[in-house]
Every structure is written in structure tokens, then in C-alpha cells.
Amino acid sequence: MSKKLKIGIFGFGVVGQGLYDIIKSQNLNLEIVKFAIKNKDKKRSLPAELFTTNHDELLDNPEINTIVELIDDSDAAYKIAKKALSTGKNVVSANKKMIAAHLEELVSLQQQYGTSLLYEGAVCGSIPIIRNLEEYYDNELLHAITGIFNGSSNYILSKIFNEGIGYDIALKHAQELGFAETDPILDVGGYDPKFKLTIATAHAYGLFIKPEEILNVGIQNLKNEDIQYAKEKNVKIKLVPTARKISSKQIIAFVLPKFVKSDDFLYNVENEYNGVTVQAAFADKQFFFGKGAGGHPTGAAVLSDIAALRYDYKYEYKKYHQKSGLIYTDKVSLEVYLRYEHEYTLEKLNITDISERFARNDYKYVIGTVTLKSLLENNELFQTKDVFIAQTGRIIYSTQSIEAIAQEELLVN
């Protein structure tokens, strides 16, 4: 028997409206009591008495037992979630930045007050990846989780590679459709997929990594020369977050553009769709596909969390509580394509094992290897327009890592 939820919702934007539309069309054991909004003068499609600008009208209302947080402001979202959890209310959130930055504390609050925070809608839209990592893979040894986590940047890249549209025009189209914000840097700069990767890594490996410790390089510096190079090599460029186990005790995580070959699941993930690949010791490779942007896809994920709360569902964070001793490391090398203008860029990054090099007055690139540590230390280089980097997909392990992985494989088999 499900219990009745009385809901207070923060935000009535694209996702909030999408959620309301879905709830309205379903016969569910829940009631929306009130919406908290920022702009009281904006015209709404619902009666005015359903809205308030006073957060405490929801947070201090004893009738409301569930808070749904759907706002853009991560600091305000954190305060809302913290107060709600601390006063006995369960919370559903789609704010990936807030959750990524405060997850360890929020897990502790849930344990302390016996409340539940669910956030399927914060990672990859309609794809139920968090629930799968929590339940299906709870006892799995995961080698890697990777994919396309951002519908906005993927839409832009799809238009570039499939229709020959320039970056600026593709970005404008994404903004007009509501996939990208007026300031799109969170999406195209790789910040949004980094926040999502941080959350997924916590459930996949039980490891809480601070977002600022994870490398994120985006597609905002992509130029026609980079696109032409990729096409000549018969690959597409996708913005790909990756978390990978490189030894029995070490995890790497980063967000980088990647050359994706035609035999990769991600090659045919287009437009606003997301795709997640999970590589596991027992289940082998599995692929999840679904819409990653838009009010209704994210609203459906939020509703799934709300519905789960009717049956007192909680994330158990099993891998975190197992205390496996995993650590996050930057001690690995990646093979990359690097387009640059000044020779000191190669020296600063310490690019080694160069297997391909090209130079003319207006275009220079190399294919070589670079350490993740060096990329993190020189991240400011990738904010300038004259540098673009993409991983080829090849990771160079240390001898110790190879031996440790081989030993782990023996134990599994």
C-alpha cells in the first residue's frame, strides 16, 4: 500500500512544468500543495494561489511531507534540501551541481534524520542510471562507466557532423529549442557532465570526489580544422565523461572530447539524446539510451523518484558503506589530439610519444600522450581559443596497474 505524498515544488520552469503535465495526466496517490517561485509577476498557467515566493511556506508547512527541488540556483537548492531533510521531509532534486558539491554531507543528513534524497533526474535525463547502479550493479565489479551525459553539447555536435552546420549556428539552434542556456558554458564547457559524472561515480564505486578535482574540458574551442580532421579519420567528436578503474584500488575520472569510432555505442547517439555505457566484470558491457534534455524526459525521471517515495525508497549507498579503500588518482596517461598555436603549449603540457604531427601557418596539431595530472595542472590552457584537445580513447597504464588489473581479472574468472 502506497502512502499519500503531499508535495511542495520549488521551481516552475521547463522541468517543473513538464512534471506538472505528467502528474496531471496520471492517477497517482499524491497532491501538489504549492509551488515556490522566484518571480511573482510572471504569468503562470495555473491559479495564483498555488504559487508563493516565500520558501518557508513550503519548508515549514507540516502538511507537506515531500519537497521537489527544480531550481537553477545550486546554493539556494542546497539550503532547501538541507532544511527539508533535517526537518523530516523527503526530497527529490534534479540539481546536479548542488548534489555533486554536497553529496557526502547530504548522505550523512539522510542517515541522521531518517529521510530520503532521490535525484535520478539529475543524471542523464530519462535514463535510470542511478537506480541501476544502486540496485542492479550493487555487487558488481565495475571497470568503467562512460557515455554522453549532456544533451545540449551532443545536439550541437550532431548538427555539426551530420548536417555540416557551423558551431555558432548549431549553438543558436540549441538555445532556441531550450536545450542550451543563454550562457551555455556549463554545457559546452563540460561542467554539467562533470557534475553528473561525480554523482554516478559515487554510486558506481562508492567514492565521493569533489567536482573541482575532476578535469573538464569542453567543445567551445572546436574549429573547422578539428572537424575536418575527425571526418578524415572516419570518427565523430563527442563530449565524453569517463570514470574508470585502473587498478584494484585506483579510479580515474575526467570529461574530455573524444574521437568516437563507428563501432562504439556512442557513435549513433545523436541530438539531445544521452547514452551510458557500463563495463562490468560479470555483466560485461551494457548500454543505456534515452533523452537527456527537455522538460518531459527529466520530469519523468523526477516523477519516478516521487513514486518511489510512496514506498519509502532510499538509496543505500552500499559501495560507499563497504569502504573498499578505492582512491581517486591522476597518475595515468592519455593519448590525445592537440590542436595548438604556440610551441610552448606542447612543452607546458609535456606531450610525449608523438606519433603524428602537422604544421602550417594557421593550423598545427599533434597526436601524443599526456598525463592526467598535467592536464589538470594546466587546465587554463584549454580556456583559450587557440587550443583544442580530444582523447583518442587510448589510455596508457603503468606496469603496476596492468599487473593489478590482470590479477583482479583472474580472481573474477
Cell numbers standing for residue 31:
497532491
Q: Which residues contact 393 (CB under 8 A, 6 or more apart)?
A: 258, 259, 260, 261, 335
- Within 10 Å of residue 307's Cβ, how many Cβ atoms? 17
User: What is the C-alpha separation between 55 and 5, in angstroms, rounded?
Assistant: 19
Residue-wise DSSP of 377-408: HTGGGGGSTT-EEEEEEEEE--HHHHHHHHHH
Which residue(s) pair with 356 in the sheet?
367
Whether the Cβ atoms of residue 306 and residue 198 lie closer than 8 Å to each other: no
CA distance 15 to 71: 9
Which residue is associated with the grid cell 603503468?
398
Catalytic residue set? 196
- Give the integer Cα–Cα distance in Å for 337 and 368: 7
What contacts 179, CB < 8 A, 6 or more positions away? 151, 152, 155, 272, 293, 294
Rounded to 10 degrees, what is the CA torsion of 173, 178, 184, 187? -110
CA–CA separation, 316 and 126 (whole Å): 21
Say which residue the cell 591522476 belongs to. 330
